[in-house]
Structure 1
Amino acid sequence: MIKEYDVVKSTKALSDAIAAGCKGAVVMVHTEPTIGYEVEFVDDNGETLDVLTVYPDDIQLLN
């Protein structure tokens, strides 16, 4: 199960700024009305690209 502070990557393009394979950190886990995650996605330099609400099929656990 994915939890806060886990490192994840996107499994598909989620926005213009977030391509498939983009890495990020889970900053919040939502459980109601369905499971979702607030993820801060970053570039290779650690700069924030975007913070998005995503669903389990949108991300994959890396750590």
Structure 2
Amino acid sequence: MIKEHECVVLLQDLPETSLKAGDIGTVVHIHKGGMGYEVEFMTLAGQTMAIVTLSPAQLRPISRRDVAHVRELTTV
């Protein structure tokens, strides 16, 4: 089960927020025992890009085999 303050991986693009599958966010709130998650996505410099509500199907926990990757935003 995903817990508050854990890092998660986005599983689908969210064009309206400039987020892409593979982006890493932090869970800031859990809705109704895991029926939904409030997740904050930030740049590496600490600027919040978006805080979005996601379903469990839209994210997954970080795994031991994940590698971080950097991409530059066109808009923030």
The CA RMSD over aligned residues, in Å, is: 1.8
Q: Taking structure 1 as the reference length, what is the TM-score of the superposition?
A: 0.84
Which protein has greater RCO, CA pairs closer than 8 Å, 6+ apart? 1
Task: Report the counterpart of residue 58 of structure 2 in structure 1.
Answer: 58
- 1:44 CA displacement: 3.5
Structure 1: 5+ residue runs without aligned partners?
none
Task: Report the counterpart of residue 8 of structure 1 in structure 2.
Answer: 8
Cα distance in 1, alignment partners of residues 41 and 55 from structure 2: 14
Q: Taking structure 2 as the reference length, what is the TM-score of the superposition?
A: 0.71
Q: Deviations over 1:3-45 (max 9, x none)?
A: 100100101112331111111000000017x700000012333
Q: How many residues align?
A: 62
Cα distance in 2, alignment partners of residues 46 and 59 from structure 1: 21
Higher Rg of the two aligned structures: 2
Residue 10 of structure 1 contacts residue 20 of structure 1 at CA under 8 Å; is this kept in 2? yes
